[in-house]
Structure 1
Amino acid sequence: MKTVLITGASGFVGQALAQKYLDAGWQVNGLGTSLNHPMADANDHFFWTSADTSRPGDWQALVAQSDVIVNLAGRNIFKPWTEAYKKAIYDSRIQTTKNLVDAMPGTFYGQLINASAAGFYGDRGDTPLTETEASGIGFLARVCRDWEAQAKRATSKGATVAVMRFGVVLGSGGGALDVMARAFRMFVGGPLGSGDQWFPWIHMDDLVRGVFFLMEHNAQGIYNFTGLVPIRQKEFAKELGRALHRPAFMPAPAFFIRLFMGQLGSSFLCSQKVLPAALETAGFRFKYDTVDRALTQIFKSGNTK
């Protein structure tokens, strides 16, 4: 039985990915700061270790036992960005990745599949963003740039390294979409700012399938994990309202977002027309290529509250 180590396995993406590996017959070693994990009691092949992975510790012994490492660890960015919390956002990603690579034996020939984000590109207007584009500016761009640099160090240990730049992950039961949907259900949903900014997104199912695609092809390099058809934020709001049978007429003014949410609010107003060129070239086939298909599936009767 092969073994996968998933950092951040208690998160929105981590739980979905852990279940996919269990269904495929793998042993899953999950890591995170939660004291326990429901899958540990429900499945004999899931093992949970509670640890602060931004610090070296006994948990690092799991690295050498792994055929594949999927690194998703990182503090939630959807909280006020105080200086202390910005440090937590940074350290939870960069230090965790450094500790993972440091724990690899000199002859580690497994695969590291490392998360990053569309935030790597910064605010880029209408520029189409494929994986060859340079990093942008701003806090999130710096986090992603340093995060990826730590992951790439694993090649010196013999590892195959694939980096995934996630768009906003759309799925039921959690994540950013859950927050946005609550506003629409209360009839106060709408675009953020002007709504003209490009909104990078991906359906959870395509994300999970994409991870397996990279693993099965022992892929290396940078991959944008975003839907095939880009969409502007105001059009996304309209599609979300349609899926929920709610209007999308309550835009949140840019000055209001910046005033009350600070740097986090400014990040919501960034425009990132991110295209999954590398995944397409490699032969990956998206199941949900447009936002309307993705949202229809997520909010279909009986699929979510």
Structure 2
Amino acid sequence: MQIVIAGASGFLGKRLVPHLRRAGHEVTRLVRRPPRAADEAQWDPVAEVVDAALLERADAVINLAGAGVGDRRWTAGYKRVLVDSRVDSTGTLARAIAAAEPRPRVLLNASGVGYYGDTGDRAVDERSPGGDTFLADLCKVWEAATEPAEAAGTRVAVLRTGLPLARDGGLLRPLYLQFQLFGGGRMGSGHQYWPWISLPDWLEAVVFLLDHDVSGPVNLTGPEPVRNAEFAAALAAELHRPNLLPVPGFALHAVAGEFAGEALSSQRVLPAVLTEQGFVFRHPTVRQALAWAIRA
């Protein structure tokens, strides 16, 4: 396939591009600066500028663009950045896809399990309603921005990603260092569910969705979400470190502000669509996922 990808410089994008190429696909990365390599093309999602000819040659578009949710405190200004960076990029690509002739056959657009809000102990899947938190509302408008592409006949799947596990990035990077320094433990009560997924399974799920006729929301999470206390215990066991120093909820709020509420929320999210479509997880348990992440 000829694949155009936005957000290729992020944690997941940097890993997805070589994975797609190893699978035999040709990849063009959209960048906001002047291109520096033959596989780059410039675009401007705010001004809605994207090369129409590039999209007309593409079989698929993957959009992972968006400011980092945990990169800064959630001031009113940064919350606007979080929304705009996702809606602008998605809307620009969706409208450009709709206008292309011929148009790409599929758009895989990032989203997140934040869509479901705090689900407590209740298991949820793609058929479950959205929540009422800031991240839930963000995901709703983010996903809605794909509508022009879908209305034009392009297959659209939204990737409601959980917590991808890799030692050198994402959620696991700060936790790995914390446990290595003998300072690890659960967050808050530890009763909240964490919807983890191994990085290889996330990558393979994206390739799977390129090749299978799946539309709508797809949860990219492992099949067995665990409570935060179980996650901390599994990580401590893999690292042969103690699991003794819990992080109180009030301390997280002091450091991270409103984002701490999301970190302490419970999301028991199940990958029903992937399972029903026959996707086979390489790492179906959190211990397997952590073992891969630590040793990779």
Residue 6 (structure 1) aligns with: 5
Which amino acid is 2:16 matched to? L
| Matched residue, 1:242 | 237
The alpha carbon displacement at 1:15 in A equals 1.5
The residue matched to 1:228 in structure 2 has which SS?
coil
- Deviation of residue 173 (structure 1)? 2.3
Tell me, yes or no, if the aligned pair for 1:106 and 1:158 is still in contact at 8 Å.
no
Among residues 110, 116, 119, which one is paired with 1:115 in the alignment? 110
- Where in structure 2 are there 5+ consecutive unaligned residues? none
User: Contact conserved, 2:6 with 2:30, CA < 8 A, in 1?
Assistant: yes
Over 3 Å counting, the alpha-carbon distance change for 1:270 and 1:6 in structure 2 is same
Instruction: Determine if the alignment matches structure 1 residue 291 to structure 2 residue 290.
Output: no
- Cα RMSD of the aligned pairs, angstroms, is 1.8
Shift of 1:83: 1.5
- Misfit runs of 4+, over 3 Å: 32-37, 49-52, 58-62
Residues 127 and 6 of structure 1, relative CA distance in 2, 3 Å threshold:
same
- Deviations 1:125-153, CA, capped at 9 Å, x for gaps: 01101111100011110110111111233
Amino acid at match of 1:233: N
Residue 120 (structure 2) aligns with: 125
Once residues 36 and 258 of structure 1 are traced to their aligned partners in structure 2, the CA distance between those partners, rounded to angstroms, is 41
2:215 to 214, 220, 225: 220
Specify the code of the residue in structure 2 equivalent to 1:84: G
Letter of the structure 1 residue corresponding to residue 60 of structure 2: V
Q: TM-score, normalised by structure 2?
A: 0.93
Matching of residues 59-208 of structure 1 within 5 Å: 59=51, 62-78=54-70, 79-104=72-97, 105=99, 107=101, 108-208=103-203
User: Structure 1 length normalisation: TM-score?
Assistant: 0.91
Does 2:249 match 1:264?
no
Query: How many Å separate the matches in 2 of 1:167 and 1:19?
Result: 21
The count of residues paired between Structure 1 and Structure 2 equals 293
Please say if residues 73 and 93 of structure 1, whose CA atoms lie closer than 8 Å, have aligned partners that are also in contact. Answer: yes
Measured in 2, the distance between the counterparts of 1:35 and 1:183 equals: 39
1:61 to 1:82, Cα distance in 2 relative to 1, 3 A: farther
Query: Quick one: distance in 2 between partners of 1:51 and 1:70?
Result: 14
CA distance 1:58–1:131, shift in 2 (3 Å): closer
CA shift for structure 1 position 50: 5.0
